[in-house]
Amino acid sequence: MVPQLATALNGPINELEQRMLESTPVIERWFRLEWMEHTPPFYASVTVQNAGFKLTPTDTDLFPAGWHQLAPETLQLAVQAAMAAIEKICPEAKNLLLIPKNDTSDLSYQANLARLAQIFTLAGLNVRFGSLSPQVNTTVELPLPSGDSLRLEPLLRTSRRLGLHYFDPCTILLNTALESGIPGMLEDLNEQYLLPPLHAAWPTRRQHRHFAIYEELAKRFAKTLGMDVWLIHPTSALCQGVNLTEPSGMEALQTQVDAVLTKTRRKYKEYGINEKPFVTIKSNQNPATFGQWLVRDAKDLPQMLSQEAQTLPLSQHSAFLVQEGVRTQERIQDTVAQPQVYVMDRYVVGGYYDLLATDGRPLNPSPTIPLLFDHPSASNTRSPNRFYMYGVIARLAVLAASYELEATDPEAETYD
Amino acid sequence: MVPQLATALNGPINELEQRMLESTPVIERWFRLEWMEHTPPFYASVTVQNAGFKLTPTDTDLFPAGWHQLAPETLQLAVQAAMAAIEKICPEAKNLLLIPKNDTSDLSYQANLARLAQIFTLAGLNVRFGSLSPQVNTTVELPLPSGDSLRLEPLLRTSRRLGLHYFDPCTILLNTALESGIPGMLEDLNEQYLLPPLHAAWPTRRQHRHFAIYEELAKRFAKTLGMDVWLIHPTSALCQGVNLTEPSGMEALQTQVDAVLTKTRRKYKEYGINEKPFVTIKSNQNPATFGQWLVRDAKDLPQMLSQEAQTLPLSQHSAFLVQEGVRTQERIQDTVAQPQVYVMDRYVVGGYYDLLATDGRPLNPSPTIPLLFDHPSASNTRSPNRFYMYGVIARLAVLAASYELEATDPEAETYD
């Protein structure tokens, strides 16, 4: 099930979208059976690229911020999904400890935290914030524009439990991807539920693993629907163990770029797509600390990187994901509208558009537009759900994350 | 969790409502723990009476129609709840057979069926309608105002399964309370999920059992919140084995009416309520076939019943529930606005107001007003959820129905 939200799509429904809309019962059942065997990540946001002819995920964030950017009308979906998630994990739950990023100075991030607290309070939990930041050694009040305030408290760790002064939570929810490593304070918490688990953070995650699993799932899914997997999967290649400050490293990366461009060109020809393909190059680890490069020709790479080298310590990165570029064709006025889909447990609970410059680069400040319910009147219930395909692809990415977490679980029992 | 819907309440929040709003985490956890032990009915609608000083359920319908009267914006809540329900009952579900009332001529009931089909289709099921009516011996198409049509098909029963021609459902959903008895066609379907179970229909249900269980739950709930149970429970008394066409039967009923009026008067005095109490008298079985009488004085009863006797075969009813009358004080323009709360699985998914004449009698035609999300803007998220207390009382009634179904389950194992 995907809520019917109004997208920026107003053109005719193309073949890919039509296929998904027609296959709703098959798709929903497919997911239902998958979730019987696999535990969904607690929450996630998925960046989806809609090129019109193909639709792919490009980033699956397992510690999503930005919850305040969802339409308030969709809040109840998140609350209902949060209830379902909590009931499965810890039905006796009373107290929820929310751990934000260390840097909470950003007003937008504060609004995100306030929304998350609202969701879990409405789901029936006492919510308090505990900070990992060494600066928070006493209670800090952050005033919010609404007149409320966010109260950050220092974490208290005992030998077996993590909490706050007079607050012993049964569940701890991380809203930080722990980019700079796993703090010792979060380790060995065997008595409490730590969500998402530590191996969902970037010290463990790898982009190529996520997309390799996604590809396998997308193949099975596409087979069920009788369609070409390429329509929902970006061709990807891993380039690892390279040093880009050396010519051999550069050559290795160029080879992968060439390979992905060649495959993409062949597919464009097969589908009669009259566009110039490009690839994106991302760090195989946390994408947020690195950004991505867009490349149309492997030959351009050395010059591009010599410019990047000014700002980026290239030598610190040795593994890259080279991925077919899929550019969202959706437009709101003169900007590119890039869908972000939010998932809680197994439920799509909302989304918004990031508005980008026409070359795909972020605008500054970076505006967003919430996706609203597409139900102006009761008589309109027959209009197709144009948000549906985003919800399908986002859930496919979230399912891939679920397999990924199973594969990297340090406590998983291995059966031979 | 209860969605924040805009009610007709615009006065100050009174003590009862304030108590519930402040206790949200306690209340939500209380329900969560109850649902760990007890299976919610598949769906239900609950009529709630809000007298201002007290708030009570008066009818818990386990085969609810009227789904089309919920705001389309709230549709996704029902879909999400339906998914959660189906996942628990039969995750492999593919086909859902919906069995409506025999008489589907009412346009409003047709719209209800169309909405139910929409909900379960969006939840990922193939939905078809099978009719119990002997008139439906071939496929019947009912045109809908939307341009779609409803297709009713004759049921096909084999020795072990119920279905349609070329349609073998794993789940069968009843949208009829089977007032005139259980058809043999629905019996002994041990291979399929029949929802709600047959003992949820009126041939088995009794009003007094529902309200006796509700009272016990309400006592526990009120104790948790430190409040008087009377504020959420209508004083009730069962009068059974009586023949109202005989003087002794009439006297027995008058005695119960007097008893409930006396208790109510005492409570009114305790709370300083300057109103004249009344009672309602309902059949202890299906309320729909009987209606209810309003009585302010036991002495009026003989005359009232001699009038009723013109239209109602009194001798067919021998058991009555005498219940403290609680009259909704909510008004929309010049009509009484009577809340109807819809619950799917354990989730409150929406509601509407039935508009009644000021004396509480139905208007003809009977208008309804859907409850809309109370979220005009993101800045408004701090306003209290005035629908919350309705959601609490409705869930308390639904929980009572869950206990009731456990108590009457013919297949329940008894442990001593």
What are the phi and psi torsion angles at B124 (to 5°)?
100, 30
**Shortest Cα distance, chain A CAs vs residue B326, angstroms:** 29
The DSSP string of B35-97 is: HHHSPPPSEEEEEEEE-SS-EEEEEEESS---GGGS-GGGHHHHHHHHHHHHHHH-TT--EEE
Residue among A32, A79, A377 minimizing CB distance to B124: A32
* CB pair distance less than 8 Å for A118 and B76: no
Q: Which of residues 345-364 of B touch A (CB under 8 A)?
A: 347
Res A329: pLDDT = 87
**Cis omega (within 30 of 0) on the bond before B339?**
no
Average pLDDT over residues A342-352: 96
**Shortest Cα distance, chain B CAs vs residue A412, angstroms:** 25
A186 neighbors A194 (Cβ within 8 angstroms): yes
- Dihedral (C-alpha) B239, B240, B243, B246: value to the nearest 10 degrees? -50
Distance, in Å, from the CA atom of B349 to the CA atom of B327, rounded to the nearest integer, reads 24
B244-to-A165, B160, B278 alpha-carbon distances in Å: 66, 44, 20
Round the average pLDDT of chain B to a whole number and report it: 90
Average pLDDT over residues B13-36: 91
A372 touches chain B (CB under 8 A): no
* CB pair distance less than 8 Å for B72 and A378: yes
Give residue B360's pLDDT band: very low, low, confident or very high (50, 70, 90): confident
A124 neighbors B1 (Cβ within 8 angstroms): yes
* CB pair distance less than 8 Å for A76 and B77: yes
Residue A197 in tokens: 């688990």
**Shortest Cα distance, chain A CAs vs residue B190, angstroms:** 23
**Which of A164-178, B6-20, B300-314 is most confident?**
A164-178
* CB pair distance less than 8 Å for B83 and A36: no
Residue A277 in tokens: 């393909």
Q: Which of residues 61-80 of B touch A (CB under 8 A)?
A: 68, 72-73, 75-77, 79-80
Q: Which of A4, A26, A32 to mutate to test the interface with B (most CBs of B within 10 A)?
A: A32
**Shortest Cα distance, chain B CAs vs residue A74, angstroms:** 9
Round the average pLDDT of chain A to a whole number and report it: 90
Name beta bridge partners: B292.
Answer: B282
Is a pLDDT exceeding 80 seen at residue A208? Answer: yes
Average pLDDT over residues A128-141: 95
**Shortest Cα distance, chain A CAs vs residue B26, angstroms:** 7
* CB pair distance less than 8 Å for B125 and A28: yes
Distance, in Å, from the CA atom of A185 to the CA atom of B337, rounded to the nearest integer, reads 55
* CB pair distance less than 8 Å for A25 and B94: yes
Res A34: pLDDT = 95
A102 touches chain B (CB under 8 A): no
Contact list, A118 vs chain B (CB under 8 Å) = 381
Res A377: pLDDT = 44
Give residue A415's pLDDT band: very low, low, confident or very high (50, 70, 90): low
* CB pair distance less than 8 Å for A32 and B86: yes
Res A289: pLDDT = 63
**Shortest Cα distance, chain A CAs vs residue B30, angstroms:** 9
pLDDT tens for A212-227 read 999 999 999 999 999 9
Residue of A nearest to B372 (CA): A73
B39-to-A91, B149, B196 alpha-carbon distances in Å: 14, 34, 11
Residue A222 in tokens: 């596409």
Residue A121 CB-density burial (10 A; 0-12 exposed, 13-18 middle, 19+ buried): middle
B33 touches chain A (CB under 8 A): yes
A381 touches chain B (CB under 8 A): yes
Res A38: pLDDT = 96
DSSP A363: P
The DSSP string of A36-105 is: HHSPPPSEEEEEEEE-SS-EEEEEEESS---GGGS-GGGHHHHHHHHHHHHHHH-TT--EEEEE--S---
A92 touches chain B (CB under 8 A): yes
Contact list, B395 vs chain A (CB under 8 Å) = none
A178 neighbors A61 (Cβ within 8 angstroms): no
B27 touches chain A (CB under 8 A): yes
Residue among B31, B33, B124 minimizing CB distance to A1: B124
DSSP B301: H
* CB pair distance less than 8 Å for B83 and A382: no
pLDDT tens for A6-50 read 888 877 788 899 999 999 889 999 999 999 999 999 999 999 999
Give residue A203's pLDDT band: very low, low, confident or very high (50, 70, 90): confident
B345-to-A56, A199, B401, B407 alpha-carbon distances in Å: 34, 34, 12, 19
* CB pair distance less than 8 Å for A123 and B1: yes
Contact list, A381 vs chain B (CB under 8 Å) = 72, 75, 118, 146
B231 touches chain A (CB under 8 A): no
Residue carrying the six token digits 């341009």: B147
* CB pair distance less than 8 Å for B124 and A27: yes
Give the range among A54-68, A170-184, B35-49, B358-372 with minimum mean pLDDT: B358-372
Contact list, B29 vs chain A (CB under 8 Å) = 92-94, 124-125
Is a pLDDT exceeding 50 seen at residue B152? Answer: yes
A66 neighbors A47 (Cβ within 8 angstroms): no
Res A169: pLDDT = 96
Is a pLDDT exceeding 60 seen at residue B198? Answer: yes
Question: Is the pTM higher than 0.95?
Answer: no
- Number of CB pairs, chain A paired with chain B, less than 8 A apart: 136
Q: Which of B27, B35, B68, B80 to mutate to test the interface with A (most CBs of A within 10 A)?
A: B80
A132 neighbors A185 (Cβ within 8 angstroms): yes
Give residue B71's pLDDT band: very low, low, confident or very high (50, 70, 90): very high
Is a pLDDT exceeding 50 seen at residue B376? Answer: no
Is a pLDDT exceeding 80 seen at residue A380? Answer: no
**Shortest Cα distance, chain B CAs vs residue A120, angstroms:** 9
pLDDT tens for B260-305 read 999 999 999 999 999 999 999 988 987 666 677 889 999 999 888 8
Give the range among A136-145, A309-318, B247-256 with minimum mean pLDDT: A309-318
Is a pLDDT exceeding 90 seen at residue B350? Answer: yes
Average pLDDT over residues A81-102: 91
Give residue A89's pLDDT band: very low, low, confident or very high (50, 70, 90): confident
Residue among B25, B347, B378 minimizing CB distance to A80: B347
E strand spans, B38-92: 43-50, 55-61
Amino acid at B30: W
